[in-house]
Structure 1
Amino acid sequence: MFGGRMKVVAYLNHDKALFYRVVLDVLLDEESRLGIHLSTKEVAQRVREALSVEPELLAQLPSVDALLEDLYRWGNVDRIHNTRRITTPEEYLQRDFLYQLTSAGARVHREMTRIDQDMADAGALQSSMLPEILTSLATLVRALRSGEEDLEAALGAFRTTTNGFARLSEDAKLFVQSLNGSLASEEIRDPETFIAYKNVVVRYLRSFTVVLHQNSPLIAKLITQAERARLLSRLPELAALETAPVLGLSHEEAVDREVERMRERWNGLRRWFVPATERSPVAELLLDRASDAINFIILTVGHINDQRFRRASRTADLVALAGWFDRFDREGSVRESTALWRTAFGNYSARHLGHPAAPEAGTDLQPEISWWHSDPAPVSAELRARGPRAETGPLPRIRNPRRAKSLLAARQQQEHATVEAAERSLAARGPIRLSELGQLNSSEAEIFLACLSLALSVRQSTGGIRRARTPDGRLLVTLGIAPTERTGAGVGLRGGRLSTKDFQLTLSLNGRGRR
C-alpha cells in the first residue's frame, strides 16, 4: 500500500473504466438483494441488459470474462469454481466461476457511487432539520439531567442530533456549491429562466434564513446546557453501550476510538451554532452567504431588466467599439485609434504649451506633440520671473431682486387680464355656430382651441350635446349640433385657418372660478 499502487482502485484509471463499473454495479445490486454469487453467464446477461439503452456502448462491450478476470486480479471481486449443473468433463474444463464483491471492492464501489450521486445532487437547505435538531437536543439535556438510568435515551438523542446535523451540514455544503456555480456564470443565456430561478431561490433562501435565525439561539443554548450536564465527560459511558467489537483492538481501545469520533461530531455541531473568540458560528456565515446570494440575484435581475428595457444596448456598443479598435490595430492606424479613444472615452492627452515658430522655420510647435519629440517652446522672461498676474477689481454688487419681481408680477397680471378679456369676448357672443366666429386673435384662438378640445373629449348626451368645464372652473363649455344645412366651418386663426364640422358653441363665464 505504501510506496505502491492500490490495485483495488486500478480500474478507475483504465480506459475500460466504464465497463468495469457496470460489472461492479451488477454485483453490488445482487448484494443489495441479499444475493451471494453470480455466475459469469448471469453477470454477462445483466451487463448487456444495463447497456441495452446505449446501443453504441453495447457494441463496444469487451469480453465480460476478461473484465471479471481483471477485477479478480485487482482484488475487487472474489470467485469460486462453479460446480453446479456440471455433468460432463468438458463443462468442468470451461472453468465457470461464481463471482461476488470483496469487502474492499464493495466499499470502494459504494463510495464511488455516492460521489457520483453527490456530484449530481444540488443539495438542499433543509429548514425542517433545525426543529428536529432542537427537539433531539432538548431530549438529550433531559436524559443527561435525569441520571444513569436514561443513558440509552441519551445515546439515542445524541445520535439523532449528530446524524441530523451531519445531513444538514452535507446538504448545505452541496447547496452552497451549486448556488455558487449558478451565480458564477459570466453569461446568462436565458434571462426568463434565470428570473424564474431567481424567484424560487429567493423564496427558498428567505424561508431558510428565517428558520435558521429563529432556531440558532435556542440550539446554541441547549448545546451549552448539555455540556454543563457533563455530556463530554460521560461520552465514554455512552460509547460503551453499543460499541461494536473490532478485530485487533481491545474493547477499551474500540470505546476510546468511538469516544473520539463522537467528540469530533459534537465539536462540529458546536462550531455551527456557538461562537468562539477567534471565529464566528458557521450558521452566521451561512446567513451572510444567503444574504449575499439574494443581493447578487436582485442586482443581476436589475442588469437583465436594464438590458431588456433600455433602447440602446451597451453590450452591442462596446462590441462594435472593440471591433473598430481591432480593425485600426490590424491596419496600423495609430492616429485613428488614438482619435477614437479620445472621442469614445473623453481621455484626451495633456495639452502642452505651444508657440508659433518663426516664418523661416516652416513649422509651429504643436501642443499635442510630446515634450520628448518637440523643441522647447520659448517662454518670455517676464513670465518665468513673475508668473501670470491677474488684476483683481472690486467685487460685483449683489443685484436687488425687487425690480425683477415687480416686472414679473406686472407681466403676469397683464397676461391674466388679456386671457380674461378673451374669455369675456367669447362668452358674450352667446350660442354661436363655429362658421360665424370669423377671425380670432391669438388669445381668443388659444381659449377656443382649448375649449373645443375639452368638449370633444367628453361623451355626448342623447341629444348630441357635450358639456365640460375648464380645469380652473371659470368656463362651462357646451358644444351641440348646429341647426343648419352646412356640414363644415372655417375659423380664422393667427397662423392659418381651422376647418372642422360646424358645431354650435356656448361659453358660460363663472366669476367664482380662479385662475
Structure 2
Amino acid sequence: MDERVFKPVKEASYLTAGNAWRYRAILRFFYQRYERMQHFLLPEEVLRHLKRFPHFRDYTEEQLQQDLSQLVEWNNLVPRQDTGRIQTIEEFKKRKFRYQLTPYTVELERMVMALEKMGDGYGGSLERTLFDRLLQSLLTLTERDDEGEHRVFHWSDERIYRLWQDVANDFHELTRNAMDYIAHLQSEKVEERMKEEAFFAFKEVVIRYLRDFMISLQRTSYRIEGLLEETDADFVRRLAERLADYELSIPRLEERPVREELVERRIGEWEDLKRWFFGDGGQEAELVYLQNTTNETIRKITRFAQRLGETVHHMRSRRADYLHLAKWFASLETLDEAHKLSACVFGVFRTRHLKVEEPKGTESLDVEVWEAPPAPVILKPRITAYRERVKPNAADDHTARKRAVRETYLRRKEEEQLLLAELIRQDRIALRELPPVKPVVRKTLLSWIAKSMAHPERIGKTETGRPFRLEVASNRIIRLRAEDGVLEMPDIVFHFD
C-alpha cells in the first residue's frame, strides 16, 4: 500500500475547523477567481469581497491576515511577495503578499461544490451510448492490419494517449453513473415515493429507461468481452509503455515519475477494466451484478405499481358501475336475455371442475369439447367415514429369490477378496508395482485410501477386518492402470499387520 495513505490530509482541515465558515468563504472566493483565470489575489480584494456580506460586517483586516496565515500553514494558500507596486522602503518592509490556491485546495473546492449540487440524492444515470462509445474505442485500440500487427502502434504517442483517455473516461463514467443511479432507485426516499399514487404514471417511463439500458448492455457487453479476451499481455505492456513515454515527454518542473511505475499503473487500469467484465478469483463480475440489480429493480418497480394499482382499485367506488348494470338489466324484456347477460358479466355460477386421467384423443384446436370421446370419472363420497374396499391378496414367498441374490453377492465379494489377496506380496501392496487391475480392485484400493486418510495415523481396516497402514513412499506421481483407464496418483504403499 502507498505510504501516502497513512498520512493525514492537512489541506482538508479548513472544512471542519472551528472558524470553518470564515475559511470556506475565503477559499470559495479564491476558487471562483481561479475559475476566471485570476490566480493571484491581494488581501484587500478578499476583504472587499467579504465585506459585502452581513456575516463579515465586523470583520477586520487583522482577522483576515490571521486567517490567511492559518490557510498558508495548512497548505491551502501559497504566498508570494508583491514587489510590482512598491515605491518606498517602508512599503517593502510591510511585506505585501499575493496569495494563490494550491492544487490540493482546487480539487477539494471542486469536490465540495459537486457535493453541494448533488444534495441528498445519489444522482447518476444509465447512458446507453457509453457502452457504444467504449466498444468503438476498444475496437479502434485493438484493430489489426493485414499483417496481423496492431495499427495503434503505428500512431504517435499523443494520439494513443488521447484514445486511451477516451477509453478510461467512458469506463469510469459508465461505472460511476450506473452504480449511483441504481443506488438512487434503491434508496429509502425513492421507495417511499414509489408508494404514492403519483408514481403510477411515472412507472412506465422508468421501466422503459431501465430496459433500454439493459438491451444496450447485453448487445455490446459480449463484443467488449470478446475484445478483452483476444488481447494478450504483450499488447497491454506495449500499450502501457507507449502511454508512459508520452507522459514522460510532457515537460514538468516538479519531480518526474518513474517510467516503470507509470507502466504498472496503466497495466493495472487495463486489469481493472477486465475485472469489471469478467470478475476475479471466482468473484462475480461487476457487469453481472449490474445486470442482476437492474432486473431486480425493474421487478421491484413493477411490484410497487401492482400493489398501488390494487389499492386504488380496491378503494374506488363501484356505485356508477352497478347503476349502469342495473339499468342494463332493467331494459331487457325476457328472463332468458337476463340470464345471458348475467353469464357474460358475472360468469357461470356454481361451476364444477372435473379432471380426467385419460389422455386426450387429439391436440387439434379445431375440435370442440363435445366432439371428443367421453372419459369416465369415478365420483367418491365426500364423507370422513368412507374407505375404499381393498381385496385381500395372498402373500408371495420370495425366499428363493432372496437366497439367489444373497449367493450372488457373496460369490462376487469372494472373488474380489481373492483378487486383492493375489496383490499382497510380503504383507504389503505397492501401487507402483501392480499390473493392470480390474475396476472393482481400483475402487477398493481408493476406498482403503479414503479410510486411512481420515485417521491421524493413516490406519484403516479392510472389509474382512484386516488392519493396514498407509505410507507415501516418495514424492513422485505413479500411474495405476485399470481396464477402464489410467489413474495418476501418489506413490502409495499399504502395509498389512
Q: What is the TM-score of this pair, normalised by structure 1? A: 0.52
Alignment partners' CA distance in 2, 1:196 and 1:61:
54
Change (3 A) 1:60 1:7: farther
Counterpart CA distance in 2 for 1:8 and 1:150 is 41
Q: Is the 8 A contact 1:77 1:99 kept in 2?
A: yes
State yes or no: 1:457 paired with 2:331.
yes
Q: What per-residue deviation string (whole Å, max 9, x for no partner) do you get for residues 177-202 of structure 1?
A: 222225675x4497134335534322
Q: Is the 8 A contact 2:51 2:57 kept in 1?
A: no
| Residue 305 to residue 158, structure 1, CA distance change in 2 (3 Å) | same
In the alignment, the residues of structure 2 paired with residue 188 and residue 30 of structure 1 have an alpha-carbon distance, to the nearest angstrom, of 41
| In 2: Cα distance, 1:276 partner to 1:2 partner | 25
Q: Is 1:282 aligned with 2:283?
A: no
CA distance in structure 2 between the aligned counterparts of 1:68 and 1:188, rounded to whole angstroms: 47
SS of 1:142's equivalent? coil
How far is 1:93 from its partner?
Answer: 7.5
Once residues 238 and 182 of structure 1 are traced to their aligned partners in structure 2, the CA distance between those partners, rounded to angstroms, is 44
Q: 2:69 maps to what in 1? A: 69
Deviations 1:403-428 (A, max 9, x none): xxxxxxxxxxxxxxxxxxxxxxxxxx
Question: What's the offset of the Cα at 1:209?
Answer: 0.8
Inter-partner Cα distance in structure 2 for 1:94 and 1:156: 49
Q: Cα distance 1:229–1:146, how it changes in 2: closer, same or farther (>3 A)?
A: farther
Write out aligned runs for 1:62-461 (5 A).
Answer: 63-82=63-82, 96-116=96-116, 122-142=123-143, 145-146=150-151, 148-150=153-155, 152=157, 153-182=159-188, 185=191, 187-188=192-193, 191-227=196-232, 230-243=235-248, 244=250, 254-274=258-278, 278-311=282-315, 457=331
Instruction: Return the offset for 1:161.
Output: 1.3
Aligned partners of 1:454 and 1:470 also within 8 Å: no
Shift, 1:293, TM fit: 1.0
Aligned pair in 2 of structure 1 residues 287, 116: CA closer, same or farther (>3 Å)? same
Structure of higher CA gyration radius:
1
What is the CA-CA distance between 1:287 and the residue it aligns to? 1.0
Q: Which residue identity is paired with 2:47?
A: A
- Please state whether the residue corresponding to 1:78 is helix, strand or coil: strand
Q: Which amino acid aligns with 1:172?
A: A
Offset of 1:65 from its aligned partner? 3.8
C-alpha RMSD of matched pairs (Å) = 3.9
**Equivalenced residues, count:** 316
1:17 corresponds in structure 2 to 20
Post-superposition offset of 1:255: 2.0
Taking the aligned partners of 2:235 and 2:135, their CA distance within structure 1 comes to: 19
Q: Which moved more, 1:279-288 or 1:126-135?
A: 279-288
Are the aligned partners of 1:246 and 1:254 in contact in 2 as well (CA < 8 Å)?
no
Kept in 2, the 8 Å contact 1:81–1:98? The answer is yes
Q: Distance in 1 between matches of 2:254 and 2:337?
A: 103
Q: CA deviation at 1:86?
A: 5.9
Partner of 2:419 in structure 1?
Answer: none
CA shift in 2, pair 1:18/1:307, >3 Å: farther
User: 2:240 is matched by which residue type in structure 1?
Assistant: L
SS at match of 2:123: coil
Q: Is residue 47 of structure 2 the alignment partner of residue 44 of structure 1?
A: yes
Cα distance in 1 for residues equivalent to 2:197 and 2:48: 46
* Aligned-partner residue type, residue 33 of structure 1: R
Residues 393-449 of structure 1 deviation map (CA, whole Å, 9 limit, x = unaligned):
xxxxxxxxxxxxxxxxxxxxxxxxxxxxxxxxxxxxxxxxxxxxxxxxxxxxxxxxx
CA offsets 1:471-509 (integer angstroms, 9 cap, x no match): 569xxxxxxxxxxxxxxxxxxxxxxxxxxxxxxxxxxxx
In the other structure, the counterpart of 2:435 is: none
Structure 2 runs not aligned, ≥5 long: 317-326, 339-497
CA distance change for structure 1 residues 142 and 48 in 2, over 3 Å: closer, same or farther? farther
User: Residues of 1 paired with 2:135 and 2:308: CA distance?
Assistant: 41
Tell me, yes or no, if the aligned pair for 1:145 and 1:229 is still in contact at 8 Å: no
In structure 2, what is the Cα distance between the partners aligned to 1:103 and 1:88? Answer: 34
Q: How far is 1:26 from its partner?
A: 1.4
Instruction: List runs of 5+ in structure 1 lacking aligned partners.
Output: 313-452, 459-467, 474-515
Deviation per residue, 1:111-136 (Å, 9 max, x gap): 44455556666011121111111111
Q: Name the aligned partner's letter for residue 210 of structure 1.
A: I
Which deviates more from structure 2 when the two are superposed, residues 287-296 or residues 193-202? 193-202
Offset at 1:89? 8.2
- Structure 1 residue identity aligned to 2:155: D
> Contact 1:245 / 1:254 at 8 angstroms: preserved in 2?
no
Task: Indicate if the aligned counterparts of 1:124 and 1:171 stay in contact, CA closer than 8 A.
Answer: yes
Mapped partners of 1:151, 1:169: distance in 2: 29
**CA apart distance, 1:216:** 0.5
Contact preservation (8 Å) 1:235, 1:259: yes
Amino acid at match of 2:227: L
Distance 1:235 1:228 in 2: 10
Deviation at 1:2, TM superposition (A): 10
Is the Cα–Cα contact under 8 Å of residues 38 and 100 in structure 1 kept in the other structure? yes
